């Protein structure tokens, strides 16, 4: 199966190239990148020295494509591919939301193909495996929503939450992308921690959409505050939930989480609060639930690598499902330490 990457020159695109190069069942046949067209992949990214592939201006003949374009731009590239019958995993936000009106509010553009939103599978395999397996278009989740939804899904599905959810997430600077910006300059970000998007982050409607579906279609008010941390990779999320009446103890909560994720190859319920470094370079999400006995509040911590489970690794996991391959194919690498 020949696969390609649209916009290989971003962090998600280049991480896709690294993972796909080692995948035993597909051939990375074509990559694009307008700023680097005409150069070889290994010339632009020396750490990919084994991949002798030219970066093109337009995608070549492939049977499945990964679109790693910025939002709004991605949909324009994807629509013609779908018309040709090519399967697509979109890493942008362009097909994640089911309500087309939300794109104007959160992303500042009118969606060019709202008819496709209902058919696009939301690419979180732990919740949507069946839809992904039969989909032509999969919307890869955002990095923050991946960690937040996996932290909360078992509790919300079990009806343990009251109308009070607070999500605090801390991300490494690679989550801001490869384009230059003042907040991610070394002298600005180093030895500094800052909150941002307090008026509402673009990933918030994605989180709310999935939690609503888990909550029998009833919306849950969510406060989401992201933070920038001076590290390259990783997202640590701490979610706080006021438990509904008849609250459960720590042992019951942990059993609930272990039962929920018992057959999931890339979610592990940890025995102690996880660190981001424990997931670096891997497709794992580590989840640790506990209960603050003083307040009766559920506290759940999750850790992911934002470029793997939060982007490229999850995209390959989705590809495996779409192609009928074992879900873990090409993704079983352990985390890098230290």
Residues involved in catalysis: 143
Return phi, psi of residue 154, to 5°.
-60, -40
Give the C-alpha separation, 30 to 161, whole Å.
46
Other CB atoms within 10 A of residue 230 CB? 15
- CA distances, 291 to each of 54, 156, 236, 300 (Å): 52, 15, 18, 8
Nearest to 242, CA basis, from 223, 268, 263, 262: 223
Q: Give the DSSP letter of residue 296.
A: T
Query: 275: phi > 0 → left, psi -120 to 50 → alpha, else beta; which?
Result: beta
144 with 201: CB under 8 angstroms? Answer: yes
Give the C-alpha separation, 56 to 39, whole Å.
8
CB half-sphere exposure, 334, CA atoms < 13 A: 3
| Burial class (CB within 10 angstroms; exposed 0-12, middle 13-18, buried 19+) of 191 | exposed
């Amino acid at each position: 199966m020949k696969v390609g990457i649209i916009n290989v020159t971003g962090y998600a695109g280049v991480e896709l190239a690294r993972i796909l190069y080692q995948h035993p069942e597909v051939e990375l046949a074509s990559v694009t990148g307008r700023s680097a067209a005409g150069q070889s992949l290994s010339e632009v990214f020396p750490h990919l020295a084994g991949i002798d592939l030219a970066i093109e201006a337009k995608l070549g003949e492939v049977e499945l494509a990964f679109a790693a374009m910025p939002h709004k731009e991605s949909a324009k590239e994807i629509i013609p591919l779908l018309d040709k019958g090519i399967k697509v995993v979109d890493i942008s936000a362009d097909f994640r939301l089911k309500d087309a009106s939300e794109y104007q509010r959160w992303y500042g553009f009118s969606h060019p193909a709202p008819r496709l939103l209902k058919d696009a599978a939301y690419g979180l395999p732990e919740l949507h495996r069946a839809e992904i397996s039969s989909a032509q278009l999969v919307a890869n989740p955002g990095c923050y929503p991946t960690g937040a939804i996996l932290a909360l899904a078992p509790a919300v599905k079990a009806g343990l939450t009251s109308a009070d959810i607070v999500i605090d997430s801390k991300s490494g600077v690679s989550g801001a992308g490869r384009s230059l910006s003042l907040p991610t300059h070394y002298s600005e970000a180093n030895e500094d921690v800052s909150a941002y998007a307090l008026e509402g982050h673009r990933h918030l409607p994605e989180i709310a959409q999935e939690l609503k579906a888990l909550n029998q279609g009833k919306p849950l008010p969510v406060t989401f505050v992201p933070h920038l941390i001076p590290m390259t990779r990783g997202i640590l999320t701490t979610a706080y939930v006021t438990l509904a009446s008849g609250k459960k103890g720590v042992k019951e909560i942990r059993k609930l989480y272990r039962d929920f994720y018992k057959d999931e190859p890339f979610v592990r319920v940890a025995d102690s609060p996880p660190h981001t470094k424990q997931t670096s370079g891997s497709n794992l999400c580590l989840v640790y639930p506990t209960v603050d006995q003083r307040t009766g509040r559920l506290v759940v911590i999750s850790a992911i690598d934002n470029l793997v489970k939060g982007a490229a690794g999850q995209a390959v996991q989705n590809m495996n499902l779409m192609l009928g391959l074992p879900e873990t194919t090409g993704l079983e690498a352990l985390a890098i330490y230290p």
